[in-house]
Structure 1
């Protein structure tokens, strides 16, 4: 049975011009993200204070003048950000009502140890409760990440099957899942892995219940246009690209060769931003990143 979704938000994600901002650094990646932003580990004493610092960073991004529906379609949030507020307004509500940006939620709990050349997602025993809370808070869709390290057909098959199994659970809750089996950009067999990955994703898309919609978040492929046929699949709302550790300029240059993918960058979005910048400097730097990413997504 097709999930009930917000049609206005769906049309924006499926057909709009722009990209999806990834603001979903979680516990493991937060210290690195803060460090790049100029907030060192001596600025906080525990996890609660650390997440307070990342919330300030995210709020500054969201409140910047260029963070708006003109160039940004959606934003992926970490759970603690979903539960937080900006100027007294819940972050998902603020994004949609004040910025015109569709809110997504990162739902995975991190990666399991590598086996068969891949890293599966850790178990998510409380997923149904999280999805219910997300619906109440006005979240449109979700994101969950696995990683492919090498071109191991069995490992890739297993990773994709897990992604779609959880994706169907998410769709049944009334949300649109972003399926994200990242291929490591440093993998010596990246191109071969992408061929296997595309085939497995197509098989899973073909088997989805009629009316179910998903998006895909994939590493920019070695072969330009490789995922075009996935973007055209009737079950796919949008194919978005992760920056995967590429610099902003490199990621944008590679993405621009893939006309049916749009960006969903995290580190590339915040490249060059620093907590000590004046508002004028900060907004100019973020605005420049947003413009580059937007242009590469056209």
Structure 2
């Protein structure tokens, strides 16, 4: 049974105890790897908390449910499209569709079920936020093909994974687009950085089967490249905060998250098989630190 658990599962014991079909569906939606929906959810929090309307826990609860469901749907879609490529990569060959344990027909049905949950969440939002959320579907649909087209599929992932920032913001307000654009661009740089770290796990296999990635493009300069994108993220976040609230004290709120990103780069070891995955997963804490900065800046003096 354990040989059907993907190598980077975070809940091997829990998932391994499930019957085969529920286990395969859970893996297909990556429920055993919550880091993905954390990274999809945190930008939603950035937008909500920076908007300055307080904690908004009910809204965040809906957005969390949407992040889990739609991240799962995106993973199912990605695995359907990439079944042949996944079968050629050691780390992904045991995925349910690639290995043949789940048929593509069943996978499509599971995708529809997850999208229906996303629809329930969508209906909780006002029209402007619904429109913004729906506009992301074209980006999501195109993402699995980017690794065949460009060396920078991580940049496209940045467009997709930070869309919640725009949704959370437009649910509460419709102004300060210059500040929001800087925050969004900074988040794209953040995603390119952390997903490059993630892609370090697959460099050899990706090169053999023709999959493109920023980790391969950067080559031996990958640490410098990640550092540059993280620096870009911190700089753009700072500019966004300044445009939103021109106060030097607001910029100080970015020091914890900037320090965390610096730690990631300083301790990154591309030659250690376990190190890149651990640094990638630590971005759940980077997201938490950035969310707190957004709350302070958005709600100071409110």
Tell me the TM-score normalised to structure 2 length.
0.32
Q: Which has the larger radius of gyration?
A: 2
